[in-house]
Amino acid sequence: MPLSGEAIRTMNYVDDISVTLRRILSVLPLLTPEERARVAEHIRHADPSYDAVVAAVSVK
């Protein structure tokens, strides 16, 4: 079954998220422990979270 344009766009958004996560991972070694802790806290409080989106996609 072919994908709709909306599904393809959504998959492209996921690819964009992956690129962003790779960028974050590449910068982490340059941060101080305090900066890493602040970034981690910021990620924990991001809404919606990646896990929340995965859960929403998984609902039948």
- The DSSP output letter for 32 is -
Q: 24: which 2 tokens? A: 């974050």
User: Is the bond preceding 48 in cis, omega lying within 30 degrees of 0?
Assistant: yes
pTM score, whole prediction: 0.80
pLDDT by residue, tens only, the chain of 60 residues: 899 999 999 999 999 999 999 999 999 999 999 999 999 999 999 999 999 999 999 987
How far is the C-alpha of 22 from the C-alpha of 4, rounded, in Å?
28
Which of helix, strand or coil describes residue 38?
A: helix
Report pLDDT for 11. Answer: 96
Report pLDDT for 59. Answer: 87
Report pLDDT for 54. Answer: 93
How far is the C-alpha of 60 from the C-alpha of 57, rounded, in Å?
8
